[in-house]
Amino acid sequence: MKSSAPDAPQPASIGTLSMKILFTKNEYRTLLDMVYLAEWMLTSYDEKPDPAKAKYEHLAQKIYSHAKEMGWESLVVSSPADNKYFPTKDYEEKSGVYEFIDDYETESFWDQLIDRMTERDVADKMGDDEVARLSNAAYEAIANPIADKYAQEFADNGVDRLHVDENAPPR
């Protein structure tokens, strides 16, 4: 019995498939935000282009290249000299994406600080070799109360009571 679905691709042709997706103007605008945020996360701390990220840049450029036809030419400009598209300064300042970035960075900072201090304290308490032998459940049983203590401290006081002990021996 033949299926009424379109012919399934043959394994050899999977890499050559293409897709057409229709976006409304507002959906495309949301897609611009998502692409900008993804690109920011991938490249904001890079000092030079990373070849491993080229496929992501290529896709972002493809999305940005359609801004004019979607009525968002005020958000993306082309640079003939670079043969690239860039979000405009107006977009970056007024789109609201930096609020998402700020929220993400703030949460990330506190999570990383708590995690790293907890890992340090567990290792100080037990030794690195013993920590390496712990199951995930056993590690969590030790680490979670420590992490909770730091989370509460930072929620109550931020970094106000966090100090570096210059007399402590290096690890």
Phi and psi, residue 3, nearest 5°: -75, 150
C-alpha–C-alpha distance, residues 69 and 25, integer Å: 10
H-only helix segments in 2-135? 25-43, 54-64, 89-94, 97-126, 128-133
Give the pLDDT of residue 4: 45
Give the pLDDT of residue 11: 52
Pick from 146, 138, 137, 88: nearest CA to 114: 146
Give the pLDDT of residue 5: 45
Query: How do residues 68-103 score in pLDDT, each as one tens digit?
Result: 999 999 999 999 999 999 999 999 999 999 999 999
Query: How do residues 146-170 score in pLDDT, each as one tens digit?
Result: 999 999 999 999 999 999 999 988 8
